[in-house]
């Protein structure tokens, strides 16, 4: 696990999210590492919207005032939560992008 994402993964797991892939956006040990922090969490397909909404509520509660969303140019203005479902294989993921607990003020 990249060193800059450890506390974020621990925080997510403390809230019963099942993390399955992550990166801190700085360490590039693997080809799949992205240029921004990210954590993928596998969820049941029928719980996808609920779990994504729950994560947004937790972030707003525990890290109030942290910027979120995108700029008008489509760049990250702060953290973003995404929910994805693949009907071909039944996998559902919630992804937290551009956020680290380590970067919290």
Distance separating the N- and C-terminal Cα atoms of the chain: 23
Taking alpha carbons only, the member of 102, 86, 85 closest to residue 94 is 85
Domain count, the chain: 1
Domain extent for 28: 3-103
pLDDT value, residue 3: 87
Taking alpha carbons only, the member of 17, 29, 27, 23 closest to residue 100 is 23
pLDDT value, residue 104: 60
pTM check: above 0.85? yes
Low-confidence ranges of the chain (pLDDT < 50): 105
């Amino acid at each position: 696990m990249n060193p800059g994402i450890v506390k974020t993964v621990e925080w997510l797991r403390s809230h019963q999210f099942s993390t399955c892939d992550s990166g801190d956006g700085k360490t590039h040990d693997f080809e799949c590492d992205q240029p921004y922090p990210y954590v993928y969490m596998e969820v049941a397909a029928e719980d996808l919207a609920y779990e994504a909404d729950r994560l947004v509520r937790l972030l707003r509660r525990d890290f109030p005032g942290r910027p979120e969303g995108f700029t008008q140019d489509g760049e990250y203005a702060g953290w973003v939560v995404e929910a994805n479902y693949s009907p071909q294989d039944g996998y559902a993921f919630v992804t937290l992008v551009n956020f680290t607990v380590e970067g919290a003020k």
